[in-house]
Structure 1
Amino acid sequence: MGKRIHQLKIDFHVTPEIKRYVYVYIIEGEFCYLIDSGVDGAEEIIANFLKSIGRKLTDVKCIFLTHAHPDHIGSAAKIREMTGCKIYASAGESRWIRDIDLQFAERPIPNFYTLVNESVTVDEILKDGDCIKLEDGLTIEAVGTPGHSCDELSYLLPEESCIFTGDAIPVRGDIPIWIQRDDNRKSLEKLKEIKGADIFYPAWDETYDREQAMDKIEDAMMLMDEIQQNVDRCKGIAESLDEMVVQVCNEMKTPHFLKNPLFRRTIESFL
């Protein structure tokens, strides 16, 4: 891991039975910059870590949000209130960041208002290819990687030869959450061809070197193919979407996917 990149694991529960985690990243230069903010309450974990390396929360000047899901934006409002930092996100994601009630209405998940309990203003909208100079020797570039969410961004840090990929690369064995199959495949292809990134920092797995990242991307594409094959196989059998979800989980021997209602949306994206 580059000396200026710090990875923080934030644990949380979607339900009492479903424990999850998300990784937040701190880019350290003259000031500090966050990639995502974690769930509500993560500001304390971030503040304590910064103190442990001789920094303070008020050193945080920007938060770059990969997408609007609660585990990525949950403490953004509190960190902004405590630091006055700027918040960056894409246009498609900002509507859910600026209005969490709208997000819950359109994407209700268990424990939503525990994971994120406050909307926050997005100061600057980014799109694919936009570059922001953070300070001398630190530049960040937005890379459009939709599919897991409607307008997710990854962030390339050329000076450290790394990219922060949010939830764009699914992890085998975990529940694949996609809203648009074709967008996700294009995003995986884009990450596979990305230049200037030797280290990949995902939000829901450990750090990858480039070779490991290529293997993860290939495996993600194979997983997409497996889901598509099983969806196609079940089309003439299942009488409803809910029944198809059950049958696909049975075929793939992944009954634990049924515990997460968002897998239903994944299957729908393959129809």
Structure 2
Amino acid sequence: MKIHTLSGYIQHIYLAEDSEGLLLLDGCSRADVDKVCSYITSTLGRPLSDLKLIVVTHMHPDHAGGAMRLRERTGAQVASHPKAAAWYKGLGGRTAHIIDLLLTWWVADRIGKAKESIWYNPILAPDILLKDKQTLPIFANWQVLYTPGHTDHDLSVMHVPSKQAYIADVLVKVKGKLVPPYPLCHPNQYRESLKTLAQSSIDTFFCAHVPPTAKSDIDFEHVIDNAPIKPKNHWHSSKNRIKKKLFGVTKNH
């Protein structure tokens, strides 16, 4: 098994290659679709049909935005947690989707990327639903880990023989330090997810926004102890800004 790393629109893209074919460890963004296809055909010299499975770890634009277009182009199946399809449902969900698209452009601007088309259908239609600890279809050496916190449906995937895992946005880096992601919708579940990863047999962690990191270099206990107690997301941030404007104070959690 070999993991190929591509530089995506605002995140790292990981494409696993083994005897069963190609496995895309996340759905990347709409802006990354051509890059992934070109890498498969030009760099690897393989037909697009060799991409067999696309895992959507969660529904944010840089993790789900390219999944359905890649399915159309390659014939690969798309897999996600059962809760993923409902993440952006309803008026509140549609509003959150637009905010997340705007945040993606904001991040792109911060890292010097031009504004590209990143719109995608906020309601995912996966071919396969994944549960905690199950083996990935087609790729028997990969195991699913349910690691909620960032959202209610976050998935990580572990290559059992090599003890490597892709954990998407479970950890990000700010000012050189590993910290919880934003938003953090379910802080209690997030702590449990960190404990699961800390107690696992995983030796190396691949993240969407952090270079591959050895377990020995991650102070899980520190991250757990300093993680927010209450949710931090668009709604809570807006509420705190309104309170600050009205009353001149806000609570820090």
Shorter-chain TM range is 0.7 to 0.9
The two structures, once aligned, show a CA RMSD in angstroms of: 3.2
Return the TM-score normalized by structure 1: 0.71
Match of 2:241 in 1: 242
Change (3 A) 1:207 1:52: same
1:71-220 equivalent positions in 2, closer than 5 A = 71-96=62-87, 103-109=93-99, 111=101, 114-118=117-121, 119-135=123-139, 138-173=140-175, 176-195=182-201, 197-212=202-217, 214-215=218-219, 217-220=220-223
Kindly state the Cα deviation for residue 104 of structure 1 after the two structures are TM-superposed.
Answer: 2.5
Match of 1:56 in 2: 47
Q: 2:167, 2:207 within 8 Å by CA — same for their partners in 1?
A: yes
Match of 1:42 in 2: 32
**Partner Cα separation in structure 2 for residue 189 and residue 64 of structure 1:** 23
**Partner Cα separation in structure 1 for residue 83 and residue 32 of structure 2:** 24
Change (3 A) 1:220 1:64: same
Number of aligned residues: 223
Q: 1:39, 1:73 within 8 Å by CA — same for their partners in 2?
A: yes
Change (3 A) 1:95 1:243: closer
**Partner Cα separation in structure 2 for residue 210 and residue 73 of structure 1:** 26
Q: Could you say what secondary structure the match of 1:166 adopts?
A: coil
**Partner Cα separation in structure 1 for residue 90 and residue 32 of structure 2:** 18
Match of 1:18 in 2: none
Change (3 A) 1:218 1:133: same
Q: Could you say what secondary structure the match of 1:6 adopts?
A: strand
Q: Could you say what secondary structure the match of 1:127 adopts?
A: coil
Q: 1:198, 1:210 within 8 Å by CA — same for their partners in 2?
A: yes
User: Residue 115 of structure 1 aligns to which amino acid in structure 2?
Assistant: I
Per-residue CA deviation, residues 234-260 of structure 1 (Å, 9 max, x unaligned), is: xxxxxx6226789xxx99xxxxxxxxx
Instruction: Point out where structure 2 has 5 or more consecutive residues left out of the alignment.
Output: 105-116, 233-238
Kindly state the Cα deviation for residue 102 of structure 1 after the two structures are TM-superposed.
Answer: 7.5
Q: 2:144, 2:155 within 8 Å by CA — same for their partners in 1?
A: yes
Return the TM-score normalized by structure 2: 0.76
Kindly state the Cα deviation for residue 72 of structure 1 after the two structures are TM-superposed.
Answer: 0.4
Match of 1:235 in 2: none
Match of 2:107 in 1: none
Instruction: Point out where structure 1 has 5 or more consecutive residues left out of the alignment.
Output: 12-20, 232-239, 252-263
Per-residue CA deviation, residues 132-182 of structure 1 (Å, 9 max, x unaligned), is: 2525xx422111100001111111111222111011123234763200111
Per-residue CA deviation, residues 53-112 of structure 1 (Å, 9 max, x unaligned), is: 222332101001111111101111111001111111001112248x69874234441645
**Partner Cα separation in structure 1 for residue 47 and residue 71 of structure 2:** 14
**Partner Cα separation in structure 1 for residue 192 and residue 150 of structure 2:** 12
Change (3 A) 1:23 1:103: farther
Per-residue CA deviation, residues 190-209 of structure 1 (Å, 9 max, x unaligned), is: 111112x2111111110012
Change (3 A) 1:204 1:60: same
Kindly state the Cα deviation for residue 186 of structure 1 after the two structures are TM-superposed.
Answer: 0.8
